[in-house]
Amino acid sequence: MADRALPDRALPGHALPDADTVRAALASRTGPWGDDVRVLSVRDLSSGLGQAAVLRVSLTTPSSGPSLWIVKIPGWGPQTLLDSRDDGLAEREACFFAGTLPALLPRGLTTPPDATVLRHHGRLWIVMRDVGAVLQHAWTPQGALAAARRAALLWVPGATRPDLLDAPWLEREGYAAYAHHVDAGHENLEALGRDPLLRTLFTPDQVRAMHACLDAADSLAARAKGLPGTLVHGDLTPRNAGLDPAGHLALIDWEHVGVGPVGFDLGTFVSVYRAFGGQGELDEPALLDAYGRALSDLAGTDLRADAALGFATAHLTWGLHLRLGPGLAFMRRDEYRAAPPAHRAAHLDDIRSGCLRALSWAAAA
């Protein structure tokens, strides 16, 4: 079948690129996948949360056996409830992989090997080796402790080449990425008392405290801007990270890479640890201490107090805005009413536990 131009935006029900389209894109330029490439299979891995098509592709060439690759096409999918309103989202990861920042990541941090950016029919494609085997290992509290220490290594590129952190495509206010959901968060909290299925989710005192935290979004953002900045992954969650056999932290999905306050990445990881499959209970102060000590050693100065503020800010902005905005909005939709009870219970548990853990850090912020 002949290759075809891709649509401006794939909508629900529209087909993703098939094997012939992927083959044509790879054949359009020389790359680490080899010459005369054949596509054996294409599997959709798109999460439904982001606006990128993510495909696992099995390739083979006359000179090599089958190999697994990830093909990512930013901006392919429709907007979702998350609605980040980030103008740079469609191109930021491609800018990251096409630039010098990946090479500056120190030993202990890795990205998918052989990442290559190409343009096919007017659309960016990111092609990289599949590291799914590393990402599939379940997270445990011991692994989270190792991840906390490794996450501090993101300080190194900015210390080595400060000028690279001035790149205009880097995200600057990831902690405020979902601040536009604050009004919806207030509305959803006020609606809980009228919903027989949700009215017991929080106590009246907890609801008042969360209203206050939502109202503090601007002051929290202003404080975050004053903290020491570091390179941040921006979406460091258990689904986007894994520990390889050497103990290195492998990171994927760099759409939100940017400059942010120290402690922010660890805060995002902890905020959704349980929701994204992490096992066991985390000792958050111990994780923060491990991160803060590793960061301070790298910086040559004590940044533990700053890291604690950045960590708390992540909980009270990124984590709280997502749960009280799109999170509660979904719980109020008809799809929630029709979902299996276990599915509903898991989402409700994440919203409740995540919001209460955020409140526990309010005094620190």
Structure confidence at residue 364 as a pLDDT band (50, 70, 90): confident
Q: Are residues 292 and 188 in the same domain?
A: yes
Which pLDDT does position 352 carry in this prediction? 97
Whether the CB-CB separation of 313 and 175 falls below 8 Å is answered with yes
Question: Final residue of a domain: which of 130, 164, 199?
Answer: 130
pLDDT tens digits for range 143-185: 999 999 999 999 999 999 999 999 999 999 999 999 999 999 9
Distance of alpha carbon 146 from alpha carbon 159, whole angstroms: 22
CATH number of domain containing 102:
3.30.200
Same-domain pairing of 186 and 287? yes
pLDDT category of residue 49 using cuts at 50, 70 and 90: low
Task: Report the candidate in 123, 101, 126, 137 with the shortest Cα–Cα distance to residue 250.
Answer: 137
Domain assignment of residue 4, yes or no = no
- Which residue spans within the chain are E strands per DSSP? 38-44, 52-61, 64-74, 109-110, 116-120, 123-129, 229-232, 241-243, 249-251, 258-261
**pLDDT, mean over the chain:** 91
In a domain, 330, yes or no: yes
- Name the β-bridge partners of 72: 54, 126
Beta bridge partners of 243: 249
Report the distance separating Cα 111 and Cα 37, nearest Å. Answer: 23
**pTM given for the model:** 0.92
pLDDT at position 329 over 70: yes
The last residue of a domain, from among 130, 154, 186: 130
**Do 194 and 90 share a structural domain?**
no
- 5 lies in some domain: no
* Residue carrying structure tokens 């941090």: 109
Res 11 pLDDT > 50: no
List, for residues 92-139, the tens digit of each pLDDT value: 999 999 999 999 999 999 999 999 999 998 899 999 999 999 999 999
Instruction: Provide the domain limits for residue 293.
Output: 133-360
Number of domains within the chain: 2
